[in-house]
Amino acid sequence: MHFKTAARRAAMQVLAESERSDKPLAALLDATQLPPQARPFAREIASGTVRHRARADHALRPLLRKPLGKLDAPVRAALRLATYERIVLETPAHVVANEYAGAMRAAHLTSAVAFVNAVARRLPAGWLPSPDAADDAVAFLSTEYSHPAWLVERWLHRLGFDECAALCHSNNVVAPLCLRVNTRLATQGGVLNTLRERGLQAREGTLSPDAIVVERAGAPDEWPEWKAGHIIAQDEAAQLVGRFVALNAGALAAGAGALIEAGASVFTAVDACAAPGGKTTHLAQMMNDGGRVIACDLAAGRLKLVRDNARRLQLANVETRAGDFRELASALPPADLVLLDAPCLGTGTLRRRPDAKWRKTPAQLEELVALQRALLDAAATVLRPGGALVYATCSLEPEENEEQARAFVARHPGWRIVPPVEKWIFSGSAEMSEDTQNNTLRGEEREAAHSAHSLLTEEGFLQTMPHRDGCDGAFAARFVRAAD
């Protein structure tokens, strides 16, 4: 079997399965038995199809006698894949017809073979015009940019037509690989040099001083820098959340790596929803492997990812606790710092998980807002007097972000929102100068600090937007508990 044939059949299987599964498309693809040479093409057509699903459905509609939703899931997946290939990849009509008819036969859907063949041969060579924006802006935007109408309606109301269109467009652009340099073991410049020497298109990040962006990189887990613990995959927005956590929070850790003198007790940080460990390890890294980071997560299996990442990055100050944080909180030691990177709708990361947008619902948003509220209240019980709580999401929705933050202080009179009032504090790297250790920023750090400050709202919340900032969407708010 040709590797592209195998890739098409796997992509069809995975798209059909994704309609009834919460697992990411990438995870479903990884679980298939595909030869290595077939995987890139399977990823391309599967992710491309879900990115442009509404436009594909719009192109298919005139060719069908009944709605796509009435078809069997594998048939629906095959037609969408065929449409993406025909229009975007410009695969000849007879090729997509033969290939996806063959996929029906291989899936024992013999009654659909002739149907898929006939529809695929009549597919247009280009996208059909979307509905007229003047008549129905939601229908135009949701079709043109392939987003659920209910999300488009929300964003259109809040952002206006042009910005909503820009946001939807940015979600359809494949995000590059973004790395965070483990500054305890390596420098940004050193890692950049080794990547470029191997011919990779690598550049410095624009927002985080530890970030490296690599175009068309593939998976980095076989790179020597990865195996040596010098890098971890993390978007710049998530890296900024880690730095936001450290802002004015008092001592990060006792020891030579601390930027601010620690108190007598061991500095304790709690990451309430830690897996897979990107922010946990960033916190441990900024603490220069001192103090104590307690990483909690509901799924014990996912906490293994936290431990694996901490071990690979050579961070010895991370420990894990499995369980529902609402129940774990009462058994945790008093903390100086709590990070609640809360479960959320994830509308800021759709460019990385295009399949997720089709599974999100208004009901999920309501459920998540209630869960976030309960988690915030639990987190508040863990803090020592004078401690800091940072609440973060990868959402763009006000109910999960600024409205949730305002509601928290409204029901907790002893707490207040404390935005950063000084500079962003960048922690130790192998090339950190004595002046930097004394909280004097290097030139590139000062430039990044200026950029980061532009991402703060008037209330002092961190808010990034994919179409404005070239990174994922993220939100963070910092609360301080009054000292007794």
Kindly list the catalytic residues. 394
SS3 of the chain: the string is CCHHHHHHHHHHHHHHHHCCCCCCHHHHHHCCCCCHHHHHHHHHHHHHHHHCHHHHHHHHHHHCCCCHHHCCHHHHHHHHHHHHHHHCCCCCHHHHHHHHHHHHHHCCCHHHHHHHHHHHHCCCCCCCCCCCCCCCHHHHHHHHCCCCHHHHHHHHHHHCHHHHHHHHHHHCCCCCEEEEECCCCCCHHHHHHHHHHCCCEEEECCCCCCEEEEECCCCCCCCHHHHCCCEEECCHHHHHHHHHHHCCCCCCCCCCCCCCCCCCCCCEEEECCCCCCHHHHHHHHHCCCCCEEEEEECCHHHHHHHHHHHHHCCCCCEEEEECCHHHHHHHCCCEEEEEEECCCCCCCCCCCCHHHHHCCCHHHHHHHHHHHHHHHHHHHCCEEEEEEEEEEECCCCHHHCHHHHHHHHHHCCCEEECCCCCCCCCCCCCCCCHHHHCCCCCHHHHHHHHHHHCCECCCCCEEECHHHHCCCCEEEEEEEECCC
